[in-house]
Chains A and B, each alone.
Chain A
């Protein structure tokens, strides 16, 4: 399988600020790839370089089998959807979509047929004569997409495609885009700072940090095995627990037992997500529910033991079923997590009770369920 887009050793600086630092990346034909990262991580700059809106200081970009670095944007076969759509405000929806065909001097009947086809695709046939200012955000987004697709580009690039939309429209458009990608199978890269969006849509996610690629892989791989602390924290909240590893056993510096892990002994930091802490009522404690915050379907529990506080999460139903309330004495078990050591690769935290009594294992599993 040849790559549709290959970025090799690309760097770009603006003044003294290095926005992209030796970035290499390949995208397979038909792949839907997400560039995920916080603002300022260089993801939009990378997208603009691929589109030809900017030139790399060093490195090479190929699209298909042509070296794009020397090509003008129009010769790259790239469709680009801008964050704020950048529709032509003085043109109707029809003329916006027809633009790439008109500048290529396509015939009148051909233009008409193609635009009508695209209008049907974006389900806006009725609004062909409207101007962009007369459309809603979601409609503008779809027009921008149709315009980018009109000249049948080889790759589609989307810059924060849902960034400027409200939550409901966002969700609908996300599903629609997913469906569209399945149907057209066009190689697509989209930039986002929203982890949920990236994981739901993309075949593969590339996480960027300060101009470098932190990690890339399928959403599942990245979620299960974050390569470093940055990725782990970027993917969602965690309890950050200072700990020590001795004989594969992990014990928090505060004194409680976490579980088992592979790898070397020594000081480490364990990251445990809220849902990776199982909680069950236990008359003997030693933990205690200090606080419960409910957001409807989910509840967040603050657990206290001496000076230590941990955050645990569960569904509201599970909370009711377990009969947990503020002040309930509880026992906890760590069902997963990641252990990071200074300079080393992370290892998974495994749930192994310290004393392996049969009844303990049984109870832990029950609480996990």
Chain B
């Protein structure tokens, strides 16, 4: 009885908070017919926003991928002063409001900011331009890859790398053949999440973008611009693209997990094979 009650409650909550809103997005987007839906998307301002969103993600995601690998490698391999500080700092973007993150950037790179005058003197514009939006996105999506990979690398330890050393592998060979493959599933999830967030980020990017519709608007910003100018159907059409992105991410993740289920099972940590540590 309790079980049925709990399951029903869980299902109701899920439908109310997840399924219904998602459906509403598509219903609203298609409310004026499929032709109007397509027209809203191929609007030059919207296609520009799509392009900008893709561009920012294409820069921010690889940057955070590299950072995640380096950070996890350092933290799992070495004991150095400031190690725990670094671990804490990685979580900072999670605990700070994206709007504050955007403001920090304005304070740093803006015309009246710390580095602003210097940059302006050299003709570099960061705030209200692409570089600022990329930096804000990198900042906000910073933890996704690192957070997935660091615990994995820490748990797997250094044994396999040491084995590779005794088997005659060079540093580069160890990285490509051992260290990278053993964390690749963590990396993959991290990248998927990082990408979804990079494309969907609103707060931080909104502060630094200047919101010039058709020029420095990303897709989430375009949704807001359209909504505020009472183009409800067009706003939902753009929003439906973001919803589709979320769905595609989930489907891709599930599909890859299913295709590679043997390998994923095999690469799980072998806790059963590690009894107490002897001398």
Contact = CB atoms under 8 A, between A and B. Distances in A.
Interface of A: 38-41, 43-44, 51-53, 73-74, 78-80, 82-91, 99-100, 102-104, 131-134, 137, 140, 147-148, 150-151, 160, 163-164, 193
B166 A52 contact: yes
B86 interface: no
B263 A90 contact: yes
29 contacts: A38-B279, A52-B165, A52-B166, A53-B162, A53-B165, A74-B169, A80-B166, A82-B159, A82-B163, A86-B162, A87-B163, A88-B178, A88-B182, A89-B270, A90-B184, A90-B263, A102-B177, A103-B164, A103-B167, A103-B168, A103-B173, A103-B177, A131-B262, A131-B267, A132-B270, A151-B168, A163-B278, A164-B273, A193-B279
Contacts of B279: 38-41, 43-44, 160, 193
Leading 10 A-B pairs by shortest Cβ distance: A39-B279, A131-B266, A74-B168, A86-B159, A86-B163, A80-B166, A100-B167, A103-B169, A90-B181, A133-B266
A87 B278 CA distance: 18
Contacts of A137: 273
Contacts of B266: 89-90, 131-134
B79 interface: no
Contacts of B275: 164
A82 B177 CA distance: 19
B160 interface: yes
A83 B160 contact: no
A52 B184 CA distance: 29
- The A contact surface, by secondary structure, is loop
Given A88-B182, A100-B167, A103-B177, 17 more contacts: A52-B165, A73-B166, A73-B168, A74-B167, A74-B169, A79-B166, A80-B166, A82-B159, A84-B159, A86-B163, A87-B160, A89-B160, A90-B263, A90-B266, A99-B169, A132-B270, A140-B273
Interface string B34-66: 000000000000000000000000000000000
Contacts of B181: 90-91
B77 interface: no
Given A39-B278, A82-B163, A133-B265, A104 B273 contact: no
B171 to A, nearest CB: 10
B253 interface: no
B3 interface: no
A133 B160 contact: no
Contacts of A102: 177
B274 interface: yes
A124 to B, nearest CB: 16
A89 B264 CA distance: 10
A52 B166 CA distance: 8
A321 to B, nearest CB: 41
Contacts of A53: 162, 165-166
B170 interface: yes
Contacts of A84: 159, 273-274
Contacts of B263: 90, 131
B166 A90 contact: no
B163 A80 contact: yes
Interface string B147-179: 000000000100110111111111001000110
Nearest to B269: A89
Interface in B218-257: none
